[in-house]
Copies of this chain bind each other. A is one copy, B any other.
């Protein structure tokens, strides 16, 4: 269940996306709360680096030309990501041992898995932290170096660790998915880890939101037909879905 506060935060971001900026008073009016509440919201969102406050109101923190940093991606399209997370989690059985990728989509999956009885090996410190206070999840960490910003685990140690173990499933995310080039990743270190993960898991479940479609990263992870299931959101175009379904094992639209 999403709390009133979370919905309101999404509302603030939505309004800012429409108009670029907004006053505290305006936000309070449109969302039906007092200015003080809006101020507290803005303070939190600014701490997350999602927006920038100015005297009287706030504006979005990033320009449209750069890819927004993690805290921002995490908040944007939170609803769609949550749906993907729930759908992916439904493909995991209690008792399974899984590898769980990092990124905002991986985190969405983690949030659903927190109350499940599963063994999780996260490929990101951020995802690991999401399980920290879970009493049901058996958390195991792969070794390796932590890449700043994304907090993903990579390097020879990570790959060695994966090769030394076996998992029921690998919940994979990627920078891009394309019919021609399959699943791809911008960061070469992360891609190497993902390739190793594909190799040590019985089955692969890909979780990619529609914004990744037809984007191609630098390094190929695996082909379209490798995952037993590809879970995406309802914004995926009908055309793309058809093409995917021709080549992939199973394509699931969450929501």
B129→A138 contact, CB < 8 A: no
Q: Does A222 contact B (CB under 8 A)?
A: no
Question: What residues of B have a CB within 8 angstroms of the CB of A131 in the complex?
Answer: 146
**Closest chain B residue, CB of each to CB of A128:** B125
Q: How many Å from the CB of A117 to the closest CB on chain B?
A: 12
**Closest chain B residue, CB of each to CB of A120:** B146
**Closest chain B residue, CB of each to CB of A142:** B143
Q: Does A148 contact B (CB under 8 A)?
A: yes
Q: Does A199 contact B (CB under 8 A)?
A: no
Q: How many Å from the CB of A145 to the closest CB on chain B?
A: 5
18 pairs of residues in contact across A and B, judged by CB atoms under 8 Å: A47-B135, A125-B128, A125-B129, A125-B139, A129-B132, A132-B151, A135-B148, A138-B145, A139-B146, A140-B143, A140-B144, A140-B146, A141-B141, A141-B143, A141-B144, A141-B153, A157-B161, A161-B161
